[in-house]
Amino acid sequence: MNGAKHSLADKCVPKRELGNEGKILEETMKTMTIRVNWHQEKVSENKLVRIHDIQNHKDECRFNQMVDFTEFPDENYANSTIKGKGMKGYKRCEHCMDGKVILY
């Protein structure tokens, strides 16, 4: 190295060189509809993770402040992952969803 700093972007393959892989990645990102905020399990009163509707999120959801989250194509995928981690359930966000608690 000649002392120049490189970002992760310098190592990424440009989308135009990915061919079909780039298209698949782009389509996958468009289909993510649910965001699970894992941090809520640690800080919420009921100790449940919270799920959000990505396409309907509100300012009150504070998406820009979330650091420990995963996005899923739908609630069923999120549900099976939450259950698979041995958690007791989750809460749908009261701002962008119906606020319902789902317990296992």
Strand ranges in 1-104 using DSSP code E only, listed in sequence order = 34-37, 49-53, 69-72, 89-92, 101-103
Place of tokens 């079909």: 20
Report yes or no: 70 and 38 within 8 Å, Cβ to Cβ: yes
pTM: 0.70
pLDDT, tens digit, 9 for 90 and up, residues 2-18: 444 443 333 433 444 44
Looking only at Cα atoms, what is the longest distance across the chain? 56
Helical segments of 1-104, H only = 8-11, 20-30, 40-43, 75-84
pLDDT digits (tens, 9 = 90+) for 20-75: 555 544 555 558 999 999 999 999 999 999 999 999 999 999 999 999 999 999 99
